[in-house]
Structure formats: C-alpha cells, structure tokens
Amino acid sequence: MAAAEAALVRPLAGRVALVTGSTDGIGLATAHALAAQGCAVVINGLGEPDRIAALCRELAAAHDVRIEHAGADLRDGEQAAGLVPQVLQRHGRLDVLVNNAGTQHKGPVEAHPPERWREVFALNVDAAFHTIRTALPGMRAQGWGRIVNIASVYGLAGGVERSSYVASKHALVGLTKAVALETAQSPVTCNAVCPGDVSTRIFYRNAKRLAESEGITREAAQQRIAATHMPSGRVVSPEQVAALVAYLCSAAADEIRGAALPVDGAWLAR
C-alpha cells in the first residue's frame, strides 16, 4: 500500500525529463512541477554558472530528486542536436521532453532583419525538431514518452508586428501534430500548450515601462496589459502552464495526442 500511495503522490518517480529554456519563467516552473512528481530533471538555458548551479541545488533540495544542467545554445543546430545525447549519456534514458526555449522579434515585417527571422526559427522550431528527432528512438524503445511543446496563442492566431514569432509558433503546432500522428500507435504522446500573456519577467518589464510612461501604478499597468488580450483581465502564471504540462505527462492524458491546448483567459474564444 505504501508503494501504491507513493506512486500516486509522485507518479513520475524514476522518470527523467529535459526542459529547455528552464532557468526562469515557464521553463523553471515546469521543472519544479515535474520534479515535484518525482521526476529527475535536466534543465537547460543560458545564464551565469553560479546562478544556474544555485537553481539546481534549490530544485534538488525542494523535491529530493536529481537535478542537473545541460549546456547548449539551441540557436545552433549542432548544439541543439547534441542536447538529448547529453541527457542519455548521463541518465541512460529520457522520458519527458519539454521544448520551452523561445524568442521573438517585434516590428513590422518589412523592417524585420532577415538574420533575426532565422534566429527566431532556429530557437522556436529547429531546436524542437532536433530534440524530438533525437529523443524519439529512445522513447519508442523503452515503451513510454511524453513530448510537450510550449507554443503560444500566436501559434493559433495572428498578431501585429511579430511575423516571425507567429509563423514559428504556427510551425511548432504543425510539428506537434505531425509527430503525434507518427507516434499515434505507440505509448509516446506529443502535444502543445499555447499560453496567452504570461506573468514572466518580460511581462513585468513591459508593465513597468507602461507605468512610468503613463504615470500609473504598476498594478494598473499590469491590468491594462492583461485586458488588452485576455477577456479574463488576468495574465496566466508560469505555474498554471506548468501544471498543464505535468497533467499531459500523467496516465489520464494517455490519449491526448496532437492537441494545441490554449491557456489564454478566453483570448481565442472571441
């Protein structure tokens, strides 16, 4: 009974997860959510080595699981292709792959620098392609796997002055569906989560700028930004996105395949 109860509390015990772009924001929240369910987690992202080491210690202490960092600049195809092999070399397996790393460029399409277009696609789409193609053989062989791509509502709708971001997130949703069909007869699933505005550092930085320029409080600026897109008037927290990712890794989600699930305060319901 004790073992059964433990499995219910920590259903991912014994599993290994790789979460890209996980040194802050949605990725870090996802690392916490998976570790809380007993999963060993390999985080990935850029940052100061001391800060990353501290994050690993914090996660490991909070959840009593093995936490490591795997370095790779995912804008570089060779490094992106080598990330999963790093994990396999250290752990011997990879059960959960969360492609969260991403970037964007804002501005009209006619002024979009071509090199930035390529960089956005390299990180938002190409990196996911490389991690998926290198992770799938092992997942198939071990008879279980979860792939979750963090897309965006902009993967399901258009947007102004963010052409590369919209196009790349649509491509990521398309990749998700293609992989889901290729794995449909297997115990490996592939889905996308599509958040609206999320309360990350970028959101708070934009709210701070608005507050300073308009002479309003930061709270009022946050509400104004949220209400621009989100009928709920509230932004999504990284923890809410992470909870959905964790659910997609559960047995209850065995037959959720190829979905692009919005977490958007009714943004797309209009």
Give the containing element (helix H, strand E) for 80. Answer: helix 77-81
How many helices (H) and strands (E) the chain has is answered by 11, 7
- Reported as a single tens digit per residue, the pLDDT across 122-165 is 999 999 999 999 999 999 999 999 999 999 999 999 999 999 99
Global pTM value: 0.94
Task: Please tell me whether residue 262 adopts helix, strand or coil conformation.
Answer: strand
Please give the C-alpha separations between residue 192 and each of 82, 99, 146, in angstroms, as whole numbers.
23, 9, 11
For the chain, domain boundaries: 2-196+238-262, 198-235
Confidence bin at 6 (pLDDT 50/70/90)? low
Confidence bin at 202 (pLDDT 50/70/90)? confident
How wide is the angle at C-alpha 192 spanned by C-alphas 9 and 78, nearest 5°? 100
- What is the per-residue DSSP string for 9-21? HSTTTT-EEEESS
Write down the residue that tokens 């979750």 correspond to: 148
- Reported as a single tens digit per residue, the pLDDT across 29-66 is 999 999 999 999 999 998 899 999 999 999 999 999 99
Catalytic residues: 165
| Alpha carbons 235 and 195: distance in angstroms, whole number | 10
Total Cβ atoms within 10 A of residue 45: 23
- Classify domain 2-196+238-262 at the CATH topology level: Rossmann fold (3.40.50)
